[in-house]
Amino acid sequence: MPSRLNPYISFDGNARQAMEFYKGIFGGTLSVHTYGDFGGEEAGDAADKIMHGMLETDSGFTLMGADTPPGMEHKPGNNISVSVSGEDTDELRGYWDKLSRDATVAVPLEKQMWGDVFGMCTDRFGITWMVNISEQQT
């Protein structure tokens, strides 16, 4: 398997809901492992929380996420954003429509000064998404 770069998002107890939400948008295969899967009784109250989740899509996207481990503080912030880009206008607009529903839109999806169509929003889980639709080269 070649090396790859993908976002890994830490959630505050709602990783399963968030990863299922993203699967509903991007499709693909979602695999999740709970703390209980690996820790048994030692996992305690976190037994049903996600220790590792991975969404792999037919488009080649990989998104990983997990609930913050027991005993660690969840530190949400603006230090993560996820960029989805390409030339397939219909596909990318579809993603935008779903991601921006119930979201805070910082930049509406529209043509930008650099020539691409771009939008940025923060979804209901506090994750910032950037969608960039490149102009196809002729």
pTM of the model: 0.77
Residues 22-73: tens digit of each pLDDT: 999 999 999 999 988 877 666 677 889 998 999 999 999 999 999 887 777 8
Top-ranked range on mean pLDDT: pick from 67-76, 98-107, 125-134: 98-107
What single string gives the DSSP state of each residue in 43-67? GGGGTTSEEEEEEE-TTS-EEEEEE
Residues 57 and 28: beta-carbon distance below 8 Å = yes
Residues 121 and 129: beta-carbon distance below 8 Å = yes
SS3 for 89?
helix
Report the pLDDT averaged over residues 17-23. 97
What are 3's two structure tokens?
A: 């090396």
